[in-house]
Structure 1
Amino acid sequence: DTDRVGGDFTFSYYGHDMSRDFKFDSNYLNVNTNPKLGPVYTDQNYPGFFIFDHLRRYVMNAFEPNLNLVVNTNKVKQTFNVGMRFMTMDMFIRSDQSTCEKTDIINGVCHMPPYVLSKTPNNNQEMFNNYTAVWLSDKIELFDSKLAITPGIRYTFLNYNNKEPEKHDFSVWTSKKQRQNEWSPALNIGYKPMENWIWYANYRRSFIPPQHTMVGITRTNYNQIFNEIEVGQRYSYKNLLSFNTNYFVIFANRYYAGGYSPQPVNARSQGVELELYYAPIRGLQFHVAYTYIDARITSNADDIAYYFTGIVNKPFDIKGKRLPYVSPNQFIFDMMYTYKHTTFGISSYFYSRAYSSMLNQAKSQTVCLPLNPEYTGGLEYGCNSVGLLPLYFVLNVQVSSVLWQSGRHKITGSLQINNLFNMKYYFRGIGTSPTGREPAPGRSITAYLNYEF
């Protein structure tokens, strides 16, 4: 009986063979502009300056069978989902290097020699990784689908095989194998006391597997675990009103501290989300949203004091510090009005100030210092920049209209202005620009005209 038992089965294959070539030089962690403090980031004419040419090839193959099965009785409807995914990722990594020697400097300008293969073993690797994930979930609907309970489980097998040469002549290679397996349970509960109102509670466990990179300071050899919980409700009234509220909390275990601590940390991110859609009259719609986020370190962890000598001159515990790049207060406001053949729209975004480092220092400071090239992929000098990300407010406006129409012939046009008030703000990051600031786009104007015939 297909009314009681039904479903579908799919089998998917996907893959790619992709090559990438990217470069960076030995100044990429340096934002120093004062020659009295050390090498300045614009100086490329000194013995030892080098450019890395990273050659990468990624070969990925994967297949995924997936079964959905619906079993419907008079009182209970169940939707089973069972599947698995197997994926292989083979990565071939080679690094060429061009290094400025004394003999390459003529009249104060270095004439970079041709690239040669880097003889550093860990700059030339082959990785043969695969993972297998299997999952099962069961959506149970009761009381004419007013109550839905969906437990689920996912288990992931990670197999890493990293090959790199033991010697600089590449005559002997060694293999390093790593196994990481994780359970990822989940539970979703939804209850509809009335047709247009739903309450929900969700839980999910997820993880980020070990991350490998050629710059050792950002390498992890452990799983980062996340337990996510959210509780909320959604209410709608006809096509006039929709109001959503949501509380969320994410517990992070063994969270990568971004170089601020030699060991992983625990963290908690929690907050509330409020969202309203309102259409008071035909053609007019408002959208307002607000999010508050409190994201902090919850475990004791000492900082790496050496990287911040000159800003903080003694070790300290980063427990209780806010996570960087997280704006505690975020607002969104949109409005759209359509009259006859013309539509006018406004969209705006506000993000409050945020710290750019786990130091949680508001004052903008930059310190530069020698680095250990064995730990930083060959870099001998770098800088740390701390301070606040500024608050920013962006307002965009757009108007579009059908200017002329006759039968199937039509002329439409639109005018859009992004960042109407030309607000100046910036992002912060490593290796982006002096003092670690990367400017965001200013005001831009786009005019569009289209003729259909």
Structure 2
Amino acid sequence: MSSPPPGAPFVARRLAVAACLVAAPHAYAQNAPADEQVLQSVEVKADWLGPATPEQVRTYSGARSVVSEEQLHERGALNVEDALRVVPGVHVLDETGTGILPNISVRGLNPLRSERAQILLDGYPIAIGPYSNIGLSLFPITMASVESIDVVRGGAAVHYGPNNLGGVLNFVTRPIPGEFSQTLAQRVTVAEETGNMLSDTYYRAGGFLNDDLGLQLQANTLRGDGSREHSSTKVNNFILDGIYFADARNEIRAQLQYYEVDADLPGALSPAAYRDDRTQSQRPNDGFDADMLRGTLTWVFTPSADTQFEWRNFAHDADRTFFFGQNLSGTGNAFDPALPETHVADSPRLFKVYGTEPRLSHRIGRHTFTLGARYVKEEVQFDVNRTALATGAYSAVRAWDFDTDAVAVYASDTMRFLDDRLAITPGLRYEDVRMDFHDERSGAAGDNHAEEVLPGLTVGYQTTDRVFLFTNAQRSLVPVQTAQATRDGDVANETAWNYEVGARFDPRPDVSTQATLFRIDYEDQIQFNAGAARFENLGETRLEGAELQAIWEVGANTRLSATYTYLDTEQLNGPNAGKQLQNAPHHRVSLTADHTLGPWAFSGSASYAAESYSDAANTRKETANGSAGRLPDYVVVNARIGRELKLGQGLDATIGLAVNNLFDEEYYFRGVDVSPVGRVPGPGRSFILEGQLNF
């Protein structure tokens, strides 16, 4: 009999524990009779969310969805937009067609730069400034390295903050396998209208060197062009993972990542140019250049099944620059794509960030206490320079420095009743954020101080073996951002309440459903007005709606799923009182089907988004330059066919062919960031050929 691979005893034990963990933390007893199943106590975990497993989601006290590795692979997700289409409440806009700058919205919150949700990579924040620059103007994630996406829309604000009003999205990279293995994958995407090609190459090698130490290297590169002109893209993403089991109580995890991107940005089009040819670009000088070196280090100490201590540390050194054209002749909007550009600006941002977060979970009787604290230090250089195209004269326009110190302390107590079927968790988070500002050119200085107490309450109740009920209420904070700190007007810190009530119901063993009602009450919502090029305080706003999801396992080989999101938004005061929020469609629907036939796999998905507005004033008739106006509804259909190949001698392969936007639907949204005026086309029909070899 052969011996187990190195690391197998430790990995197997931890996977077995993780598979049954839930946030309470409890697991559903599978060995009890159907009418007597109860929640059992298991090992306490310091991580509130725990692993993104079906068991974890089943008894989580809030709306939560997981896009699994199988779903990502079988549906041939080209980018984040494709991956998240099927998640209720989530709306993604891809401004480049290559996935390097996704704009993610949750429950109608502003999608531009994904600035209204806490985005994590393996549990750590990826925002270039976790407190001062929450907008993801640098998105250091490539889909080939992602195993699953955990989308937590409610109930996590006390333990994960700030900026968690739209929930927490955790992108989970591929884990280190117990036995050494390698993966080589290649994907080529061809845009039908332009013939542009984008190559995506991925390589992974890793495993355990002995019973205690595991290492893994992932390398992902993108080369080529998106679906439009002026979209040349180069991305390098390298991730080195390590895990060390010092003994049965102590575990150390580390990750080192280097991400680099150099890309042309096609930008927005005037309405006339869009109608003439949506694949063209009117922004010949727009581009993006960035790199980030990230490191994380985690020590997990588990002295007993009742106690776990986790000390998390993270740091990154990042440099990102946008290049963008402007018309500074004094006629019209400086970013109007139809006007000739007189200047090209560059906006370098240098970030040095360090964070440390110890947290402890301990169970005493019916109580499980979680205590944590976090300190984050951010140093930011925020510059803008400009070149006159006529003369070549180069001048410094802006040289700002920001120093941010943020301290957070949080505590919660999960109390269990009714034979552990009922879990009630009150919690409290305290945030103290101090930002100092200095203008190197004028000598001006300023500061901003946010100090907030943020309470939360979650309740989960396993009423029967088929029904789980949940409700929660959480208060969230969005600190003032560097781009706002120097502006005139009331554009300071934002606070809001988030409420949920929902149920998961399995009417049959092969059918699972989830329904959630939600409401978000903003006290001071800040939004950028592209037409006026300024931030505006919309004051009190309300976002509410319903999310429905159903999954039907039709036999062993077929899976059908459907989601529906209804959203209603309203500005409650100010000049636009009674009007809707921007980029917040009333209805979103997604349908997916997956079927396997022997070695073959077939999948298809369709997603619908209703019309919406692109500005706070709800301008319906489009302006001449495309800065505002109604956004039409659209339907996007994707399809894929794949086949597994057994090559022998430990070699397995898969090949696939996919079509994205099968019916070549034309849709668009309004400009963003350095190209804020005009229409940004959604990607047209594209063909994807992919292959993967495991050995």
**Band the TM-score falls in, shorter-chain normalisation:** 0.7 to 0.9
- Distance in 2 (alpha carbons) for counterparts of 1:134 and 1:255: 25
SS at match of 1:187: strand
Q: Name which of 48, 54, 66 aligns with 2:347.
A: 54
Q: Offset at 1:196?
A: 2.6
Tell me the residue number matched to 1:320: 578
Counterpart contact for 1:293–1:328, Cα < 8 Å: yes
Q: Offset at 1:147?
A: 0.7
Q: Deviations over 1:268-325 (max 9, x none)?
A: 00101111001132211110111100011112x12xxxxxxxxxxxxxxx11101111
Q: Name which of 336, 353, 357 aligns with 2:594.
A: 336
Tell me the residue number matched to 2:364: 71
Q: Offset at 1:439?
A: 0.7
Tell me the residue number matched to 2:128: none
Q: Which amino acid aligns with 2:352?
A: V
Describe the shift of the 1:57–1:361 C-alpha distance in structure 2 as closer, same or farther (beyond 3 A): closer
Tell me the residue number matched to 2:668: 426
Q: Name which of 210, 232, 255 aligns with 2:502.
A: 232
Q: Name which of 361, 373, 389 aligns with 1:84.
A: 373
- Distance in 1 (alpha carbons) for counterparts of 2:655 and 2:337: 49
Counterpart contact for 2:608–2:633, Cα < 8 Å: yes
Tell me the residue number matched to 2:318: 18
| Aligned ranges 1:257-296 → 2 under 5 Å | 257-259=527-529, 263-296=537-570
Counterpart contact for 2:582–2:616, Cα < 8 Å: yes
Tell me the residue number matched to 1:43: 340
Tell me the residue number matched to 1:170: none
Q: Name which of 682, 689, 692 aligns with 1:440.
A: 682
Tell me the residue number matched to 1:386: 628
- Distance in 2 (alpha carbons) for counterparts of 1:29 and 1:443: 38
- Distance in 2 (alpha carbons) for counterparts of 1:215 and 1:28: 24
1:184 correspondence with 2:454: yes
Q: Name which of 593, 605, 623 aligns with 1:347.
A: 605
Describe the shift of the 1:207–1:435 C-alpha distance in structure 2 as closer, same or farther (beyond 3 A): closer
Counterpart contact for 1:31–1:41, Cα < 8 Å: no
Counterpart contact for 1:164–1:175, Cα < 8 Å: yes
- Distance in 2 (alpha carbons) for counterparts of 1:388 and 1:216: 31
Counterpart contact for 1:31–1:435, Cα < 8 Å: no
Tell me the residue number matched to 1:309: none
- Distance in 1 (alpha carbons) for counterparts of 2:330 and 2:500: 41
SS at match of 2:627: strand
Tell me the residue number matched to 2:429: 154
Counterpart contact for 1:153–1:186, Cα < 8 Å: yes
| Aligned ranges 1:245-264 → 2 under 5 Å | 245-259=515-529, 263-264=537-538
Q: Which amino acid aligns with 1:331?
A: V
- Distance in 1 (alpha carbons) for counterparts of 2:598 and 2:329: 55
Q: Deviations over 1:63-96 (max 9, x none)?
A: 1111111123xxxx22111010001101123333
SS at match of 2:463: strand
1:96 correspondence with 2:96: no
SS at match of 1:393: strand
Counterpart contact for 1:297–1:323, Cα < 8 Å: yes
The structure richer in strand per residue is 1
Counterpart contact for 1:84–1:133, Cα < 8 Å: yes
Q: For structure 1, which segment, 357-366 or 394-403, has the greater mean C-alpha deviation from structure 2 after superposition?
A: 357-366
Describe the shift of the 1:127–1:145 C-alpha distance in structure 2 as closer, same or farther (beyond 3 A): same
- Distance in 1 (alpha carbons) for counterparts of 2:681 and 2:330: 18
Q: Offset at 1:27?
A: 2.9
- Distance in 2 (alpha carbons) for counterparts of 1:393 and 1:86: 44
Describe the shift of the 1:20–1:28 C-alpha distance in structure 2 as closer, same or farther (beyond 3 A): farther
Q: Offset at 1:237?
A: 4.8
Q: Offset at 1:218?
A: 9.2
- Distance in 2 (alpha carbons) for counterparts of 1:423 and 1:28: 36
- Distance in 2 (alpha carbons) for counterparts of 1:39 and 1:451: 47
- Distance in 1 (alpha carbons) for counterparts of 2:547 and 2:364: 36
- Distance in 2 (alpha carbons) for counterparts of 1:432 and 1:325: 18
Describe the shift of the 1:247–1:21 C-alpha distance in structure 2 as closer, same or farther (beyond 3 A): same
Q: Name which of 376, 390, 395 aligns with 1:116.
A: 395
Describe the shift of the 1:434–1:257 C-alpha distance in structure 2 as closer, same or farther (beyond 3 A): closer
Gaps of 5+ in 2: 1-42, 45-303
Q: Which amino acid aligns with 1:385?
A: S
Q: Which amino acid aligns with 1:340?
A: G
Q: Offset at 1:344?
A: 0.8
Q: For structure 1, which segment, 56-65 or 397-406, has the greater mean C-alpha deviation from structure 2 after superposition?
A: 397-406
Counterpart contact for 1:257–1:265, Cα < 8 Å: no
Q: Offset at 1:51?
A: 2.7
- Distance in 1 (alpha carbons) for counterparts of 2:518 and 2:378: 34
Normalising by structure 2, report the TM-score: 0.52
Describe the shift of the 1:434–1:339 C-alpha distance in structure 2 as closer, same or farther (beyond 3 A): same
- Distance in 2 (alpha carbons) for counterparts of 1:96 and 1:409: 53
| Aligned ranges 1:355-366 → 2 under 5 Å | 355-366=613-624
Q: Offset at 1:200?
A: 0.8
Q: Offset at 1:443?
A: 0.7
Describe the shift of the 1:452–1:233 C-alpha distance in structure 2 as closer, same or farther (beyond 3 A): closer
SS at match of 1:213: helix
Counterpart contact for 1:130–1:158, Cα < 8 Å: yes
More RCO (CA 8 Å, sep 6+): 2
SS at match of 1:258: strand
Q: Which amino acid aligns with 1:112?
A: G
1:133 correspondence with 2:413: no
Gaps of 5+ in 1: 101-109, 168-172, 303-317, 367-382
Q: Which amino acid aligns with 1:324?
A: Q
Q: Offset at 1:428?
A: 1.3
- Distance in 2 (alpha carbons) for counterparts of 1:289 and 1:80: 35
Counterpart contact for 2:491–2:536, Cα < 8 Å: no
Q: Offset at 1:429?
A: 2.1
- Distance in 1 (alpha carbons) for counterparts of 2:615 and 2:504: 36
Describe the shift of the 1:43–1:231 C-alpha distance in structure 2 as closer, same or farther (beyond 3 A): same
Indicate the structure (1 or 2) with the bigger Cα radius of gyration. Answer: 1
- Distance in 2 (alpha carbons) for counterparts of 1:319 and 1:59: 40
RMSD in angstroms over aligned alpha carbons? 3.1
- Distance in 2 (alpha carbons) for counterparts of 1:186 and 1:214: 28
Describe the shift of the 1:130–1:435 C-alpha distance in structure 2 as closer, same or farther (beyond 3 A): closer
Q: Deviations over 1:130-167 (max 9, x none)?
A: 11000000011111211110000000001111112474
Counterpart contact for 1:30–1:431, Cα < 8 Å: no
Counterpart contact for 2:636–2:661, Cα < 8 Å: yes
Q: Which amino acid aligns with 2:495?
A: I
Q: Deviations over 1:8-41 (max 9, x none)?
A: 11222211122222223333999969xxxx9974
Q: For structure 1, which segment, 50-59 or 325-334, has the greater mean C-alpha deviation from structure 2 after superposition?
A: 50-59
